[in-house]
Amino acid sequence: TEAFRKEGHFAIVKRHIREGDLCLFQFGHNDQTLPHLLADREYPKNLRRFVREIRETGAHPVLVTPLGRNIWSGKGEYLDLLKEHAGAVCQVAEEEQIPWIDLHGYSVDFIRERGMEPCHSFFHPEDYTHTNEYGACVFGAYMAKRLAEWFPETVTARKEALNFVPPDGLGEKLGLGGR
């Protein structure tokens, strides 16, 4: 929430956003590493500021909880390091009475169901946070489905895209090996 503004990315959004546009915000991964941006500190304040500024443009803010990381303990237990940030997103969205998408809940369930090793094929090599194109399709389909529910008059999507399930063996075909 902090770097996005300081590095000028939000200025670009504000320059191009128009009345009636949807503006999705998904933060938490970088915030989680900085003590002043913890879920009970500046993080929710920064989210509220983004919401307020997007509303001022006439666009529609949508908050998205952070994507779960593929991180496990040495004992094989999933480590949910972004749970508090996801909760803060939900709280801000409810207080501001705006739509929100629980990408965190969906992705954490997805990762837990499959396990650490199989989920490597959804992330860049040696990366537990950033999805590759394959993972982007999986989580993007979930996002499209939720957006179509929140904004049925605005969001149109092909039915098959909303129900994307990677075919067996696709990871190997994409050069991701058996992962």
Pairing of strands 100-101, 22-26: unpaired
- Give the tens place of pLDDT for each residue, 123-135: 998 899 999 988 9
Return the SS3 of 157. Answer: coil
pTM of the model: 0.86
- Give the tens place of pLDDT for each residue, 49-99: 999 999 999 999 999 999 999 999 999 999 999 999 999 999 999 999 999
Q: Give, in order, the Cα–Cα distances in Å from 104 to each of 95, 121, 179.
A: 19, 18, 22
Alpha-carbon span 50 to 157, nearest angstrom: 27
